[in-house]
Amino acid sequence: MPIYFYSQRMLYGEFSNFAKYGVKMDGEWWPTTEHYFQAQKFVDPDYRTQIRNADTPKRAAELGRSRRVPLRPDWEDVKDDIMYACVLKKFETHPELRERLLSTGDEEIIENAPGDFYWGCGKDGTGKNMLGKILMDIRTALRGE
């Protein structure tokens, strides 16, 4: 039976990038993986810092979706690897999350994000579910350690 996650208030909500589990990446502490991921869209160090210091992951996402500051030119080529790296770090940093992920066995993990057809399954279930796929890949990698 597939495992769906999206809202932090729901079962498996800690799998969300908005969940308040920080990570240390690139020598800095990031309040959530959403903060880190959104900041990586940009080359401008001041704008990255502004995103890192955003009060909430929602605000970090809003800043990351802004196009007032140009996206890094290679963003489409690197975004999946950046997502994998920060999500892996989240599960390496927080043992209780690692155990939670491993407890999902071999079930399919799906980000039930109605507005996101790339990272989530989209409103109609036809999305790519890339975040769910990354979580399943990380689960496999953590099992192998």
- Whichever domain contains 64, its CATH number is 1.10.357.40
- What are 105-137's pLDDT values in tens digits? 999 999 999 999 999 999 999 999 999 999 999
Q: Which residue has the tokens 């500051």?
A: 69
The mean pLDDT value of the chain amounts to 96
- More confident position, 10 or 24: 24
pLDDT band for 7, please (50, 70, 90 cuts).
confident
| Nearest in space to 22 (alpha carbons), one of 87, 83, 84, 74 | 87
Chain centre to alpha carbon of residue 99: 18
pLDDT of residue 10: 86
Q: What percentage of the chain has pLDDT greater than the value 70? A: 100
Q: What is the mean pLDDT of residues 92-112?
A: 97
8 Å CB contact between 144 and 38: no
Domain membership of residue 68 as a residue range: 3-144
What are the CA-CA distances from residue 10 to residues 5, 29, 47, 55, 111 (Å)? 7, 26, 32, 22, 12
Which residue matches tokens 């993990």? Answer: 109
CA–CA dist 63, 115 (Å, integer): 18
Q: Provide the domain count of the chain.
A: 1
* Full-model pTM: 0.95
Three-state DSSP state, 29: strand
Contact between residue 58 and residue 64 where contact means Cβ atoms under 8 Å apart: no
